[in-house]
Amino acid sequence: MKDLPEEWKDHQLTVALRIRPLNDAEIEEGATTVAHKIDNQMVVLMDPCEDADNVLRANRSREKTYMFDVAFDYAATQEDVYVATTKNLIDGVIAGYNATVFAYGPTGAGKTYTMLGLDSEPGIYIRTLNDLFTAIEDSTEDLNCSVYMSYIEIYNEMIRDLLNPSSGYLDLREDAKGEIRIAGITEFSTCNAKEIMALLTKGNKLRTQESTAANKTSSRSHAILQVAVKQKSRVKDINEEVRVGKLFMVDLAGTERASQTQNRGKRMKEGAHINRSLLALANCINALSEKGGKGAQFVNYRDSKLTRLLKDALGGNSRTVMITHISPASSNFEESRNTLVYADKAKNIRNKVKRNLMNVSYHLAQYTSIISDLRSEIDRLRAKIDQQSQEQQKGEKAGICDIKAEVQEYSHGEMALLQEQLLSAFREQMEIRRSLMELENCNMELHIDTSRHLLTISDWERDRARARRVRDEVTEEKRDRGNEEEQESGPEEPQYVTAAREEIGPLLAEQRKTMEQKRELEEKLLNMKLKSSKIEELLPKRISNSEQRDILTLLCKVHELELEKTEIQSAVLCKENVLRTKDFIIQRHEQQRTLCDDIIHQQKALIEDQGLCVPEELQELYSLYFGELSDASVDQILNLHTFATNPRAACAVKNSTPVCPTEAVSPDTLREIVSDTKNISVIAAKRRSHLRVNDSNSRVAGVNLASGLKSSVSMDSLVSTLADESAEVKRNPPRHRGSSQLKQDSKRTEGRMELPEKQQRKKRSRSFEASKRHVQKPRQNPSRHPALESISDNRLVRPALNMIQQLNDGAGNPATPPVAKMKNNVSHFTGEVQLQKLEIRGTPPSTIHQKHSNVKRGQAIYKQQRGPGDVSYPSNLLQQPGNYKKSTNENPRQKGTADVNRMNEARQKNKHTVKRSYV
């Protein structure tokens, strides 16, 4: 599958600037040109108030230069703008990436002109669609491609389908993956550019446009044209990959000042909505530019439907181009300056773009049903084979004449036809099963969404009830004191709760729809099963020769292999879930640990600044902490972890076997690892000695260190399993060993590794490696599990088809008995499946334990520092731990992010202090 260059994926928002020509009204009012393009990237904006005769040029600073990715002025044609901004997004969309182009700027600055254009000068919409279809036609890849188009407008914060206006106002919904969707939107599937143009024209006629003083054809809404290119392989397969690239083209309404547009009544209300949503957009741009797309600055997309819809385009998975528009006129100086400031900020936004590859995902519960179906199918086929063999034996006794007749009756061609029919019935069944699973997935997502909304509402209701209770109590008290005051009304329902209430209805309707579709598919599956059993009945009643029996056996085998594959996929899915959870835990621990580190560093600086004397026990903890958390120690532990997860390297060390230089772990690395192993043993021994000291001496501040160090004990056991040498270190805790001693130990180990008496183990280790290498195929997509990667190579029906192909090929070739060849294939295939099983391994929990122990230790030190001493801490420092433990009133959906944000913010605030003291 064709991929795009790396720079495409880590993408900085492309910002273009277009200065339109002065219009008649501006010329009439005597406006001068204040915005000039200097070169292809630079523009200058001059303040019209500047006095040209002032030789000292006191206002010089008001002449401001801006740099953009590309700049156009009145001389630029529509084609120039399209080629420089949008044309090169098309390849990406076809390759399965998202892209967005949006026109931004004040009213009358030329946004609609750029996006839609005129009949004689078509804009970006039409040019892009034309080129998109041409590119699809020219594509040489063997893919089934379909193009879907939708066109909506956001008018007064309401979404209207421009291709199906009768559908009323539509709702926004966030799916389980956090993607924003428009519920009930009409997506037209088209196969030619003409059709899509007709749809576009139809939609444009429906877009809300009015005349204002600033623009005769002012767009009163934001229009979003979405084109999705969906491609899948022509070969049907349960592991089939679907590639979906989406292109959003957005023509925003323009910012406007009531004085400038002279709007009243309805127009003014529209203007207020437009300004509000554009303000939300500007806020998002501000927040995103400050964090450069990476930091922890909270970006509030929820403030308007526009920002919710543009969430991916601004801060997510999309390559985005912003075409900013300004008027060159002096009368529009203020608008132009504001627009340029935002456009300048937007340049800092960074997006990570990833290909939208949807491996047809399977729901876990569905696996169970498929597995049991396949099992019963196998049992049935086996029973049939047994029965046929018995009958054959009887038949042999009955007489050879009957068999001959049957053989003639079922000629070779007929048998092949029956096989083909059986296999295609089986394929169709798998297809239906896949659709069923997709529906099940979809249903599950809808269910999760509904539950989440219900949770949001119930949380809010609970908070409101609590607030009401408190208010009632206060009112009661006031009344008792004779203070009769007007009763306050309760808090207003927040927007996200109202949105949740609104979204529940459509979600339930959607669920009913998917259930109905599921029922229909189940019926179809039942019919398919009946059909295949009828085909089987057509097979010869009595197996007349071994070839026929082998064909049945092979059919059985195909089912068995399918079953194994399904089981493997199911296991992978489970494992991925577990890994995802582990990742999350690690991430949380990492953040907590960093926070603890910062606090400890600050507290230590404070103690040192104030010249306080630290209890010996705390001092010991400090040295242990700084020693262990130094980068070197962590690297060693990580190395050890890598090493421990590599069975071959572990085996080599255990057996002191030299490793072949061509193999994955070089002797150097191995030596380092052995030395690391020993260093870690030393650390572990130190820990134990501290543990003993703490057990006997302390419990002073109620710090249960033992619990914090539990994981280090498990680390010890890991070390002892890996290297025999560590046992020696354990018996004799090397408290006084220096680094030179460690080096000697390491050399000794090296020497031992050269000993020849472990030849046999070495051989075993090599043969294991050979089998492993066979499994380790190059990874196409690093985000996928390697096992899944290799499974997708073994397509469902391909082995069966190959076998039949071989049967046909080998028919006329006496040198290659077809069935024997097929058997070979089957056993090879079975071997592959077994090796795939070997590939699926869990992640040893040592990483999590290690991080967990670091966090615990950080917390222990923190507690000791905060103990009953009389040190006065700065208030921001005292707030931190409380902050991240405290439960918040935020929307539960945002709670996790809010916690993380708070922690990062706290870290950010304290960073420079830490640097001053320690770096």
Can you tell me the distance from the alpha carbon of 4 to that of 9, in angstroms, rounded to the nearest whole number?
8
**Of residues 254 and 316, the one with the C-beta less far from ligand ATP:** 254
Structure tokens at 363: 């729901």
What angle, rounded to 10 degrees, do the helices at 875-885 and 892-918 form? Answer: 150
Conformational region of residue 80, where left means phi above 0, alpha means psi within -120 to 50, and beta covers everything else = alpha
Cβ 186 to ligand ATP shortest distance, Å: 24
Cβ 109 to ligand ATP shortest distance, Å: 4
Cβ 601 to ligand ATP shortest distance, Å: 52
Total residues found in the chain within this entry: 919
**Of residues 267 and 687, the one with the C-beta less far from ligand ATP:** 267
Is 514 annotated among the ligand-binding residues? no
Cβ 117 to ligand ATP shortest distance, Å: 9
Cβ 100 to ligand ATP shortest distance, Å: 18
**Cα–Cα nearest to 109, from 218, 248, 204:** 218
**Of residues 109 and 329, the one with the C-beta less far from ligand ATP:** 109
Residue carrying structure tokens 């230089």: 661
Is 190 annotated among the ligand-binding residues? no
Cβ 254 to ligand ATP shortest distance, Å: 3
- Helix ranges (DSSP H) in 310-409: 311-315, 333-346, 364-398, 400-409
What is the maximum span of the chain, computed from C-alpha positions, in angstroms?
Answer: 122
Contact 127, 101 (CB under 8 A): no
Cβ 912 to ligand ATP shortest distance, Å: 44
Query: What SS3 class is residue 22?
Result: coil
Around 671, how many Cα atoms within 13 Å sit in the side-chain half-sphere? 14
Can you tell me the distance from the alpha carbon of 274 to that of 252, in angstroms, rounded to the nearest whole number?
9
Is 667 annotated among the ligand-binding residues? no
Cβ 263 to ligand ATP shortest distance, Å: 11
Cβ 288 to ligand ATP shortest distance, Å: 23
Can you tell me the distance from the alpha carbon of 657 to that of 252, in angstroms, rounded to the nearest whole number?
68
**Of residues 80 and 516, the one with the C-beta less far from ligand ATP:** 80
- Helix ranges (DSSP H) in 811-871: 818-839, 846-866
**Pairing mode of beta strands 14-19, 319-326:** parallel
Is 110 annotated among the ligand-binding residues? yes
- Helix ranges (DSSP H) in 665-704: 667-697
Can you tell me the distance from the alpha carbon of 291 to that of 299, in angstroms, rounded to the nearest whole number?
9
Structure tokens at 33: 């040109």
Can you tell me the distance from the alpha carbon of 1 to that of 791, in angstroms, rounded to the nearest whole number?
17
Residues 6+ apart with CB under 8 A from 770: none
Cβ 112 to ligand ATP shortest distance, Å: 3
Contact 331, 33 (CB under 8 A): no
DSSP string, 724-768: HHHHHHHHS--TT--HHHHHHHHHHHHHHHT-GGGHHHHHHHHHH
Cβ 103 to ligand ATP shortest distance, Å: 7
Can you tell me the distance from the alpha carbon of 693 to that of 496, in angstroms, rounded to the nearest whole number?
54
Can you tell me the distance from the alpha carbon of 241 to that of 233, in angstroms, rounded to the nearest whole number?
7
Residues engaged in binding ligand ATP (CB under 6 A): 20-21, 23, 105, 107-113, 215, 217-219, 253-254, 325
Conformational region of residue 581, where left means phi above 0, alpha means psi within -120 to 50, and beta covers everything else = alpha
Kindly report the CA angle at 40 between 39 and 42, in degrees rounded to 5? 60
Structure tokens at 590: 């990492």
**Cα–Cα nearest to 203, from 167, 168, 160:** 160
Cβ 460 to ligand ATP shortest distance, Å: 37
Cβ 279 to ligand ATP shortest distance, Å: 15
Task: Let me know if 465 is exposed, middle or buried by CB neighbors in 10 A (0-12, 13-18, 19+).
Answer: exposed
Bridge partner residues of 106 (DSSP): 255
Is 112 annotated among the ligand-binding residues? yes
Task: Let me know if 201 is exposed, middle or buried by CB neighbors in 10 A (0-12, 13-18, 19+).
Answer: exposed
Can you tell me the distance from the alpha carbon of 114 to that of 251, in angstroms, rounded to the nearest whole number?
9
Is 108 annotated among the ligand-binding residues? yes
Contact 297, 907 (CB under 8 A): no
Q: What residue numbers does the annotated binding site for ATP cover?
A: 105-112
Residues making up the annotated binding site are 105-112
